[in-house]
Amino acid sequence: MSLFEYRLPELHNMLHNKEVSVSELTEESLSVIARRDGDIHAFLTLNEEGARATARSLDDKLASGESRGLLFGLPAGIKDNIVTKGLRTTCASQFLTNFRPIYDATVTAMLRQADAVTIGKLNMDEFAMGGSNENSSFGVVRNPWDLERVPGGSSGGSAASVAAGEVFFALGSDTGGSIRQPASYCGVVGFKPTYGLVSRYGLVAFASSLDQIGPVTRNVEDSAYVLQAIAGYDPKDSTSAKVDIPDYLSALTGDITGLRIAVPKEYIGEGVDASVRESVLAALKVLEGLGAVWEEVSLPHTEYAVAAYYLLSSSEASSNLARFDGVRYGARVDEGGGLLELYLNSRSRGFGPEVKRRIMLGTYALSSGYYDAYYLKAQKVRTLIKQDFDEVFKKYDVVIGPTAPTTAFKLGSQTEDPLTMYLNDILTIPVSLAGIPAVSIPCGLADGLPVGLQIIGREFDETTVLRVAHAFEQNTEHHKQRPQL
């Protein structure tokens, strides 16, 4: 049995009982990466020397009987838009190809406090802009279930590394579904917390009102462990929420008797593959058997979510990425011309096509002649989408549907059609616009590829989301299915 098949509590006991050492866990992770990542390309930067040094230090800590953190000794991958002190952070962009931060993101520091081992930085769509991980300037990530298919994006490296058994967990960022959609495609658990629950300090900004860091794991219990370690108020983040952090592990009771589930008709209707719909309906039957009840409801403004999201996120991106000009941030292309030519050359060569597309769209939407017609109207639609969820949650405990309308698609099949690519996020975007928590968990296979079940909760009600996901997981075998690498 591979060490990666054990749950975190089991590994904690094994470490405590001296059945395994942190160095052995770390070497196992590095060994799997050496064997598999040439095909998958989940990692952009490996921290071999640093990981081994941390492992030795933690083994000494274990031997001396010192207190240990919640994630003690566990090898982890970190998405490459989360800054790590002294460890290259590129956002998968040529603009930051040699950027080595001089400070840690808050979540990176919290992982260190929890005694995790940072194995390296994970591939992604450039500046987190994309839904397939084909926009990385360092090469695509491949889905471990089928190397000819995408792993999803933008946190494709995070999902693929966990699915391939390269790390015990990973951190990703979710702006419009960038944790949940790749988790669905790769058959792992991806959790997007409520906006403000996890600090964004040190996350390279794409769309500041939407970005949120969250865990990617193999099972729900592990997700609760990681969330417990990274959630909390941070004075360095102006959007961080001052809320009490509950014991997420205690929520995993398995009891969902009387739970009220809303199933939006917009989430299981036209555009959703029949095989995906069947998997979701089968999952609802499992939950019914555990004592829950479900009814079909409507979230009427769902159809406007994609348009509103791309206007808002692109507008925020055009503002956030203005600092990358070859002077203040990023690689400089100086060919002896004036300042404007320096800006032009640096940005045109530093950014990839998708980033340029979104900067142009956002700049247009924010321009004086179009601000009211596009940006302001999109903000109003965002409010309506949030109100749709608020209305449903007056009667129901969770909202459930598929995470993505299809399973993972073929590499290259949608690169020439940005609109079709954007529509892959139609079921995750409304949650991000509303700022509420959601998790994607495996709920079956369709033609040999994973299908994700999305469970959505009220604002700061992560405990209910985790409880429902864990109850389903404990009564099915879907989370135990692995790609044949």
- The predicted pLDDT at position 335 comes to 83
Residue 183 clears pLDDT 80, i.e. is over it: yes
> pLDDT above 90 covers what percent of the chain?
91
- The predicted pLDDT at position 337 comes to 83
- Least confident range from 49-63, 322-336, 352-366: namely 322-336
Segment 392-416, tens digit of pLDDT: 999 999 999 999 999 999 999 998 8
> pLDDT above 70 covers what percent of the chain?
100
CA distance 409 to 439: 21
Residue 25 clears pLDDT 80, i.e. is over it: yes
- The predicted pLDDT at position 247 comes to 97
3-state DSSP assignment of residue 408:
coil
Average pLDDT, the chain: 96
The beta-carbon contacts of 6-9 under 8 Å, at least 24 apart in sequence, are 7/219, 7/221, 7/222, 8/71, 8/74, 8/168, 8/221, 8/222, 8/225, 9/221
Segment 88-137, tens digit of pLDDT: 999 999 999 999 999 999 999 999 999 999 999 999 999 999 999 999 99
Structural tokens at position 79: 């998405």
Residue 462 clears pLDDT 80, i.e. is over it: yes
Report which of residues 13 and 173 the model is more confident about: 173
Summarize the confidence of residues 268-291 as an average pLDDT. Answer: 96
- The predicted pLDDT at position 125 comes to 98
- The predicted pLDDT at position 331 comes to 85
Q: What is each CA distance from 448 to 162, 265, 277, 454, 481, in whole angstroms?
A: 18, 26, 15, 19, 10
- The predicted pLDDT at position 66 comes to 87
Closest CA to 299 of 267, 340, 261, 259: 267
Segment 207-254, tens digit of pLDDT: 999 999 999 999 999 999 999 999 999 999 999 999 999 999 999 999
Residue 480 clears pLDDT 80, i.e. is over it: yes
Segment 149-169, tens digit of pLDDT: 999 999 999 999 999 999 999
Q: What string of DSSP letters covers 111-142? A: HHHTT-EEEEEE--SGGG--SSS---TT----
- The predicted pLDDT at position 347 comes to 93
Hey, what amino acid is at 19? E
3-state DSSP assignment of residue 437:
coil
Residues taking part in catalysis: 79, 154, 178
Which domains are present in the chain?
Answer: 8-258 (3.90.1300.10)
Summarize the confidence of residues 264-279 as an average pLDDT. Answer: 96
Burial 120-137 (b: 16+ CB within 10 A, else e): bbbbbbbbbbbbbbbbbb
Segment 305-315, tens digit of pLDDT: 999 999 999 99
CA distance 68 to 16: 10
CA distance 95 to 331: 5
Q: Give 67's pLDDT tier (boundaries 50, 70, 90).
A: confident
Which single residue is written with the structure tokens 């079909």? 296
Q: Give 260's pLDDT tier (boundaries 50, 70, 90).
A: very high
H runs (alpha helix) in 164-204: 180-186
First to last CA, the chain: 16
CB 424 within 8 A of CB 181: yes
Summarize the confidence of residues 64-79 as an average pLDDT. Answer: 93
